[in-house]
Chains A and B, each alone.
Chain A
Amino acid sequence: MALLEIENLVVEFQTSAGMFRAVDGVSLKVDEREVLAIVGESGSGKSVSMLAVMGLLPWTAKVTADKMAFNGRDLLRMSDSERRKIVGKDIAMIFQEPVASLNPCYTVGFQIEEVLRFHLGLGRSQRRARAIELLTAVGIPNPAERLNSFPHQMSGGQCQRVMIAMAIACNPKLLIADEPTTALDVTIQKQILDLLVKLQAEHGMGMIMITHNMGVVAETADRVVVQYKGRKMEEADVLSLFENPRSNYTKALMAALPDNATGDRLPTIADYFKDGTEIAGAAVS
């Protein structure tokens, strides 16, 4: 049984111009100990589909799916209070902007301990000890002192480490990382990716890596889902995706990498769809 199984997920937003379909019939599944990457450009619905799993979308969103099961339990049909017990504990998420996703008014220690208090009900000294342990695990020097720091006193990379510490605080079964390194420098990106992959292997977590960076996909994923305009274009294991992309959209994406440039011009998506073929019709799975 897969850890997370989604079938035919549709997310629509109510706008003044009628319903807007952000995710259009996406199906995917993640097994335990597996790293799935979801790739796509902005507006491809990659973040929205994962926010739907977390139940973090605003009320204007209408989420429907034939199936959305975590560990065999249907997420869509359970009560809100039941769902809150799973979200943040068994499914955890890391967001793109580390500095913006921490509360500037509280110390990082308080914010990590809040997770432990809410989900595990640990006592004060146990929480403190566990928080120190977590900061050590994510590689922050002087963890005991750093617990009293506020987010603005830390660098972007360190804030992202704190976010990771919060996410793995309850030993989640599934970790969703939404563009975890987009706001960071390349050298820091490398450190954070290495840390995520190490923690994923150590804890045997399933991981979903949402990204638009093909390099990040190549360095982390086992399997890849390519999304475009809310639809799934292609699903493949990481090696065959890079060696032999099947959908036209993936081919266009690969060709647009400056690394693969041949000659003076970079091919663009438009070059691949010059003949006016409907891009969605080119989907393969």
Chain B
Amino acid sequence: MSVVLEARNIVRDYHVAGSLFSKGRTVHAVKGVSFTVDKGKTLAIVGESGCGKSTLARILTLIDPATSGDLFIQGKKVDIAKGDLTKDLRREVQIVFQNPYGSLNPRQKIGDVLGAPLVIHGNVPADERRDRAMAMLKKVGLGEEHYNRYPHMFSGGQRQRIAIARALMLNPSLLVLDEPVSALDLSVQAQVLNLLADLQDEFNLTYVFISHDLSVVRYIADEVMVMYFGEAVEYGTRDEVFSDPKHDYTKTLFAATPRADPASIKARLARKRAA
């Protein structure tokens, strides 16, 4: 099995500039994180806000360079600070952002949204762009009639489908999903998760799935990494992490997740009556 993504000791520091009254300081957003993801698998990264998971997503998507550490994509070492970022590499890695209301240009028709990556990457003629966009719309569960519409005419779940379609236009091998379902309702969330599973099977995609919702992670992930203040405190297969959490923070996280089964409701009501 081939390794699509490997990170070795990734570090990212942000320097906060000082002023007349305060000294500058350094924020260590990601402190030496290492992992590998095999082809066709899903790595879930879990953690609370401010733990560095989105910073890591930006590094993996080649938006920001890492301060130190090595990143390998398809076995090739990549350092965008040294200008390694080629168009071919850019096609390999795509991202879907959390908020589908913010990540689509309100003045761009859906057809243009989907065609834009093809315009940037190579000379695809207009009618072929159109055909490929139409085909992709059907793949993500939308229809040809949506081609000429604007983003405001779609619901949140449909917009997230469009964002996924856009990310897939260039046939990437790795898709980074930064909280793709946290802004969606439960029933819509189920549809989008099903879609992601179908697409993974069809295109043999590799996912890095960032989330703070443990029930979603348990459903979709093959491997799980828990981050806490920039460090990976737990890393293992889904079953290892969920059945036998080692780190205190992971245990706290599990304990804090609300449980929706009759047994725990009974226990709570009994506690309440006793009080």
Q: Could you list which residues of chain A lie within 8 angstroms of chain B, going by C-beta atoms?
A: 41-42, 156, 185-190, 193, 201, 212-219, 238-239, 242-243, 252-253, 256-259, 261, 264-270
Contacts and interface: CB of A to CB of B under 8 A. Distances in A.
A266 B193 contact: yes
A257 to B, nearest CB: 6
Interface residues of B, number: 38
B266 A256 contact: no
Given A41-B186, A186-B48, A186-B253, A268 B265 contact: no
Given A185-B49, A238-B265, A258 B216 contact: yes
Contacts of B189: 256
Contacts of B219: 258, 261, 266
Nearest to B191: A268
Contacts of A188: 48
Contacts of A243: 262
B114 to A, nearest CB: 24
B193 A242 contact: no
Nearest to A271: B190
A213 B185 contact: no
B256 interface: yes
A77 B113 CA distance: 52
A242 B262 contact: yes
Nearest to A187: B256
A257 B215 contact: yes
B268 interface: yes
A218 B257 CA distance: 11
A258 B193 contact: yes
Given A186-B256, A242-B260, A242-B261, A41 B215 contact: no
A68 B215 CA distance: 38
Contact of B187 (A238, A242, A256, A261): A256
B252 interface: yes
Nearest to B186: A256
A216 B258 contact: yes
Contacts, number: 100
B275 A201 contact: yes
Interface string B213-246: 1111011100000000000000000000000000
A268 B187 contact: yes
Contact of B194 (A219, A253, A266): A266
B259 interface: yes
A261 B187 CA distance: 13
Most chain B Cβ neighbours within 10 Å, of A243, A252, A266: A266
Contacts of B215: 215, 257-259
Nearest to A215: B258
A231 to B, nearest CB: 16
Nearest to A255: B190
Given A258-B219, A259-B215, A215 B49 contact: no
A98 to B, nearest CB: 13
Interface in B149-194: 156, 185-191, 193-194
A219 B268 contact: yes
Contacts of B218: 258-259
Given A187-B253, A239-B269, A258-B218, A253 B262 contact: no
B130 interface: no
A214 B257 CA distance: 11
A185 B212 contact: yes
Contact of B258 (A42, A219, A266, A269): A219
Contacts of B186: 41, 212, 214, 253, 256-257
